[in-house]
Structure 1
Amino acid sequence: MSKSLSKRPSKAAVKAKSQNASVQQNSAEEPTIAKPMTRVVAILYDGMLILALLFLVGTVLTVLGTLMTMETGSQSSQAQSLPTWYQNVVMTPSFVLTLVAFYGIFWRRGGQTLGMQTWRLKTVNNAGHLLTWGQSFKRILAACLMPLLFGIIGSLIGGSRAVLLTGAFFGLMFNYVFCLFNRRGLAVQDMLSNTITLKMPKVAHEGLWRGFKNRKKDK
């Protein structure tokens, strides 16, 4: 009886063995290039937050523009639209800067936006490092290239704002449909900006706030 008990492995040994097996299994997992559908879903997640930010910025700028450039009245018939120069020189650049700041801050700190974190996506450069401000801006411009091109084509064909927006939407989708025809599964913005979006394994996935914290420590 005592002999059989001595041969039975202890609980600590069993636990250590299971942990080693788990580590070996997880180490075999590696980041892979993110699938286009997963990227689109993450964009939809982020889109809700971006729209809220743009709405906030637009509201503040509209109030400031009204106070600075127009006379206010007390009746609806006295309502006016903001001057074209204010919309083009102030509001449009502010919307662009808001978009750049949103992605730039998240990409530089942890490589992930809130939507990307949900699906364990991470954007890095070709060397595997977090993006700089320059690389982030270049990636955003690259992502906007096809929507802008498709939007211009749509406006030339239809001439209406609805056709322009429809063309821009198809241009955005083209960025990710392109992944299906690229050998490595890269999107248009990946190729043009020398960056890549990866699907991270669970063991290598780092929470967004932990990524922010570790980024500060590295500095």
Structure 2
Amino acid sequence: MSRYFTQLDDVWPAGLGRRLGAMLYDGFLVLAIWVAISALHVLVVRKLLGLPAEAVGQGNWQVFTLRMLMLGSAFLFFAFFWCRGGMTLGMQAWRLRVQGQDGAPISLRQAMIRFAVGTLSFLVFGLGYLWVLFDGQRRSWSDMVSGSQVVVLPKAVKGSGS
């Protein structure tokens, strides 16, 4: 997959429906990652720290470390895909791509901003994503603050060999 998308005239801003579809798909993937991290966290607490089963999940330190691991893993998931090719697995299914205004993949700084603002947008009942319905360019808060855009890619032409 090309890291730099040059067909800027062939794309259009993504609407809310496609974005929500990709978010749902990616949400299941992140949830699977969180299940694995939680299992590893319990394993570490039980086997390496030697805490009894009834002490698992007790105490501020255990709760804090698990939450930070979950937050960090979610960020790494999105940042890896966004910075590498602009598409998470859910975005690929919906033919979406996050990119800079010039078609280049976003930077790590932009990914951090997108993730932080996206999390905030989600926490305020999705208002930052619903903004797509009111913005003339179909931008979410994450798009506006990070200087990026989410676009719909054209369907691949069958038989083109690429």
Aligning the two structures, in what range does the TM-score lie when normalised by the shorter sequence?
0.7 to 0.9
> Residue 4 of structure 2 aligns with which residue?
none
Equivalent residue letter for 2:60: T
Displacement over 6 Å in runs of 4+:
none
Tell me what 1:176 maps to. 129
Q: In the alignment, what sits opposite 1:16?
A: none
What residue is the counterpart of 1:109 in the other structure? 84
Distance 1:84 1:123 in 2: 37
SS at match of 2:98: strand
2:41 aligned residue: 61
- 2:140 is aligned with 1:200: no
Render the CA deviation track for 1:73-92: whole Å, top value 9, x for unaligned: 6xxxxx2233211221x211
Greater C-alpha Rg: 1
- Candidates 124, 127, 130, aligned match of 2:105: 130
Greater share of helix residues, 1 or 2? 1
**Equivalent residue, structure 2, for 1:188:** 141
Mapping of 1:1-219 within 5 angstroms?
30-69=10-49, 71-72=51-52, 79-82=54-57, 83-88=59-64, 90-148=65-123, 150=124, 171-172=125-126, 174-203=127-156
* Normalised TM-score (structure 2): 0.83
- The CA distance in 2 between the partners of 1:146 and 1:107, in whole Å, is 18
Structure 1 alignment gaps of length 5 or more: 1-26, 74-78, 151-170, 205-209, 211-219
Secondary structure of 1:134 counterpart:
helix
Is the 2:121–2:129 Cα contact (8 Å) retained in structure 1? no
Letter in 1 for 2:129: Y
Query: In the aligned structure 1, how far is the partner of 2:52 from the partner of 2:68?
Result: 25
The number of aligned residues is 151
Measured in 1, the distance between the counterparts of 2:135 and 2:120 equals 18
SS of the equivalent of 2:10 reads coil
Any idea what SS the aligned residue of 2:151 has? strand
Query: Is the partner of 1:60 in helix, strand or coil?
Result: helix
What TM-score does the superposition give when structure 1 sets the normalisation length?
0.63
Over aligned residues, Cα RMSD in angstroms?
2.2
Say if 2:45 and 2:51, in contact at 8 Å, map to a contact too.
Answer: no
SS at match of 1:202: coil
2-structure distance, mates of 1:118, 1:145: 25
Give per-residue Cα distances to partners, 1:96-127, cap 9 Å, x unaligned: 11011111111122110111111110001223
Q: Higher mean Cα deviation, 64-73 or 104-113?
A: 64-73
